[in-house]
Homo-oligomer: A and B are copies of this chain.
């Protein structure tokens, strides 16, 4: 169903309102790539996968205020819609849904989707309310866009687990497709927030993936040892401060047990003022 890549792509339809998005008559299957914009190769890999599997692709661009805490970077989150649209066109997106915040959260808005338990650990413990914001906006996007498949990156591992659970529990008629993390040549996971990094911080940040792969290569599956290897490796880089590292069950995000099939080794860290996350799955 993929279109010929040599075709010149038309500019995607630009849809600003929920009403316009609903009126967009997509061929099926329809793929949705939800983003906060400032697109990078990670997002584009999701679009490519969606183009391979779907007859039409909608990219959403929405910096979702509900998933930011009061002390977080909502105001300074990087934005460049012109560049995003050019990349979306190049990647063969059929429509871009880019609503304003007041379109998504009009006066009186009060509903919240909670994925209890899963939302409270790891990133959810560090960022209270974050996953309620994520689950709520994704429930809205699923209802507004009505995709058959929704695409996310493994970099946001917990987001993928929360979303899969929400889709399953609330019976949304869509399937979640999780794609591999795309990395810079030195291993740093692609992120819109990488633009915050100064040159020295940028170089230092490579320690995070190095720490994760060192732990994975150790061959050990003990959570304590995996976490300790990450801690010791990150300590070698004075410009990077580890916020947490955790080895958990990749399915439940709970503790690793005898039944654990895959271990999610995930971390958050700061390089200067910039908060970064990354993870690897150990089979």
Assess whether A18 is interfacial by the CB under 8 Å rule.
Answer: yes
List, in ascending order, chain B residues with CB within 8 A of A111's CB: 113-116, 135, 165-166, 169-170
- Tell me how far the C-beta of A266 lies from the nearest C-beta in chain B, rounded to whole angstroms: 20
Partner of A169, one of B110, B116, B173: B110
Residue of B nearest to A173 (CB): B143
> CA separation between A143 and B139, bound complex, in Å?
11
Partner of A110, one of B112, B117, B136, B173: B117
> CA separation between A165 and B112, bound complex, in Å?
11
Interface-centre pick from A118, A143, A166, A170 (highest chain B CB count, 10 A): A170
Residue of B nearest to A146 (CB): B173
Write the A172-183 contact mask toward B (1 if CB under 8 angstroms, else 0).
110000000000
List, in ascending order, chain B residues with CB within 8 A of A18's CB: 171
Residue of B nearest to A132 (CB): B114
List, in ascending order, chain B residues with CB within 8 A of A144's CB: 171
26 sample A-B contacts, Cβ–Cβ < 8 Å, listed by A number: A22-B173, A108-B165, A110-B115, A110-B118, A110-B169, A111-B113, A111-B114, A111-B116, A111-B135, A111-B165, A111-B169, A111-B170, A112-B114, A112-B115, A112-B116, A113-B113, A113-B170, A114-B114, A136-B170, A139-B170, A140-B170, A143-B170, A143-B171, A143-B172, A143-B173, A144-B171
